[in-house]
């Protein structure tokens, strides 16, 4: 196989939200980067993203994740600005705060306890989420259904357009001189002196470092660089309505109004293997829940429903790691490609550029699964 001319400092395998954010960050750090993307047959978990930049209730069982997520949300305003500046495309980010509806007193109490735990986990950094009652909620979000008893609210939550973020990242990568190769599914990663060669349908590519950001593809690629990446697929379903006047002033965990005016409704968790077809019963349950929370939505026409396969590790938390046997080979997996885009571009990528992950990311190594079983 012939070698594709230029060698890069870093090869990024995967052009989804995760790979593109890291590639952009590496370019910002002054590296030369080649992104190797699979064709459109890829599962494209990025397109199934709901678009929340969400902090509240994340990381209850892993405090490092709570901190990492909050850190990403804090980086998002800067990140969105840089992206608009470098790529010319605004990802429509806003941070009006976010709401998680509670439909029973019992749930409300559980949430209160969870927020207390998370608050304590952040070591002094103010967590900022609080429980609000129905009366406060009505003042913020009129028109809720009778079943909503209260909510948790966090000022750090926001939302962005996943599609514009994706486009913005690709545009910024091009503007920064990054190289993007489509239809180049990585078939093999091999050692090449001190660097790596990635063999693809479009030829072989060489880089000093390699970052596996291929979503589910990492499972098959990782062993060649001495890493183990246990993942499971999870299907998420999303419904999008027609465009309407501003109805929902802030994102909630089950629905958000986009900058275009459509309303996205989502939040389902099914373990269906690697199929991304829409399933009517689940879509109906999502619709039911949304209308229960916000009855006015019942009148809106559905424009599109779709399913996408999320990428989950066994415990649901991200995996960030460098291979012990193959220095310079990194693997990244997470399911919150939008929320964590800020951290991936502005915190993780600089570490990869330096050639070492900070100790603060140790907890995300896949060695944490060595004694665990899948659930």
Q: Which residues sit at the interface with other proteins, rule CB under 8 A?
A: 39-40, 47, 163, 166-167, 170-171, 173-174, 180-183, 239-242, 260, 265, 277-281, 283-284, 287-288, 290-292, 297-306
Q: How far is the CB of 241 from other proteins (least distance, A)?
A: 6
Q: How far is the CB of 167 from other proteins (least distance, A)?
A: 5
The pair phi, psi for residue 37, each rounded to 5°, is: -115, 145
Find out whether 325 and 308 touch, Cβ atoms under 8 Å.
no
Judged by beta carbon, residue 16 or residue 71, the one nearer other proteins is: 16
- Reported as half-sphere exposure (CB side, CA atoms, 13 A), residue 159 has a value of 25
Q: How far is the CB of 349 from other proteins (least distance, A)?
A: 19
Q: For the sheet with 130-133, list strands across it.
A: 98-102, 150-154, 130-133
Judged by beta carbon, residue 10 or residue 46, the one nearer other proteins is: 46
Which among 172, 216, 169, 196 has a CA at the least distance from the CA of 322?
196
Q: How far is the CB of 8 from other proteins (least distance, A)?
A: 16
Judged by beta carbon, residue 183 or residue 192, the one nearer other proteins is: 183
Q: How far is the CB of 130 from other proteins (least distance, A)?
A: 29
Q: How far is the CB of 246 from other proteins (least distance, A)?
A: 17
Judged by beta carbon, residue 222 or residue 290, the one nearer other proteins is: 290
Taking the C-alpha atoms of residue 250 and residue 232, their distance in angstroms, rounded to an integer, is: 31
CB atoms within 10 A of CB 126: 10
Burial of 246 (0-12, 13-18, 19+ CB in 10 A): exposed
DSSP assigned state of 46? G
Q: How far is the CB of 310 from other proteins (least distance, A)?
A: 17
Cα separation values, 232 from 249, 312, 317, 372, 375, Å: 34, 5, 12, 14, 10
Find out whether 212 and 220 touch, Cβ atoms under 8 Å.
no
Q: How far is the CB of 143 from other proteins (least distance, A)?
A: 14
Judged by beta carbon, residue 84 or residue 314, the one nearer other proteins is: 84
Which among 291, 241, 237, 289 has a CA at the least distance from the CA of 267?
237
Judged by beta carbon, residue 290 or residue 311, the one nearer other proteins is: 290
| Helix axes 105-121 and 63-87, enclosed angle (nearest 10) | 80
Judged by beta carbon, residue 275 or residue 360, the one nearer other proteins is: 275
Taking the C-alpha atoms of residue 338 and residue 158, their distance in angstroms, rounded to an integer, is: 11
Find out whether 152 and 132 touch, Cβ atoms under 8 Å.
yes
Instruction: Give kind and range of the element (H or E) at residue 25.
Output: helix 17-28
Q: How far is the CB of 89 from other proteins (least distance, A)?
A: 9
Judged by beta carbon, residue 134 or residue 167, the one nearer other proteins is: 167
First to last CA, the chain: 42
DSSP assigned state of 279? -
Judged by beta carbon, residue 208 or residue 276, the one nearer other proteins is: 276
């Amino acid at each position: 196989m012939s070698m594709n001319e230029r060698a890069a400092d870093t090869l990024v395998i995967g052009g989804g939200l995760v790979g593109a954010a890291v590639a952009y960050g590496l370019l910002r750090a002054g590296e030369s980067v080649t992104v190797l993307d699979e064709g459109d047959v890829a599962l494209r978990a990025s397109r199934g993203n709901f678009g929340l930049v969400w902090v509240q209730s994340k990381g209850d069982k892993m405090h490092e994740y709570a901190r990492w997520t909050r850190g990403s949300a804090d980086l998002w305003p800067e990140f969105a600005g840089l992206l608009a500046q470098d790529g010319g495309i605004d990802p429509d980010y806003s941070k009006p705060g976010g709401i998680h509806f509670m439909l029973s007193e019992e749930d409300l109490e559980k949430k209160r306890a969870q927020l207390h735990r998370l608050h304590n986990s952040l070591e002094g950094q103010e967590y900022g989420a609080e429980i609000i009652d129905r009366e406060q909620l009505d003042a913020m979000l009129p028109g809720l259904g009778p079943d909503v008893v209260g909510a948790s609210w966090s000022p750090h939550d926001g939302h962005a357009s996943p599609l514009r973020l994706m486009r913005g990242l690709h545009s910024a990568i091009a503007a920064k001189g990054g190289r993007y190769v489509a239809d180049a599914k990585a078939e093999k990663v091999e050692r090449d002196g001190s660097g790596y060669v990635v063999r693809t349908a479009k030829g072989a590519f060489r880089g000093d470092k390699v970052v596996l950001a291929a979503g589910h593809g990492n499972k098959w690629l990782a062993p060649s660089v001495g890493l183990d990446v246990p993942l499971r697929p999870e299907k998420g379903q999303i419904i999008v309505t027609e465009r309407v006047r501003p109805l929902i002033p802030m994102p909630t965990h089950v629905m958000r109004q986009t900058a275009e005016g459509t309303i996205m409704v989502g939040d389902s968790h099914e373990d269906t293997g690697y199929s991304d077809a829409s399933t009517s019963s689940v879509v109906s349950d999502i619709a039911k829940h949304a209308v229960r929370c916000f009855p006015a939505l019942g009148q809106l026409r559905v424009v599109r429903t779709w399913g996408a396969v999320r990428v989950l590790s066994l415990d649901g938390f991200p995996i960030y790691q460098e291979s012990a046997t193959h220095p310079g080979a990194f693997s990244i997996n997470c399911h919150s490609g939008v929320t964590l885009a800020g951290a991936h571009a502005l915190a993780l990528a600089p570490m990869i550029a330096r050639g070492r992950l900070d100790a603060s990311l140790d907890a995300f190594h896949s060695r944490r699964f060595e004694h665990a079983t899948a659930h």
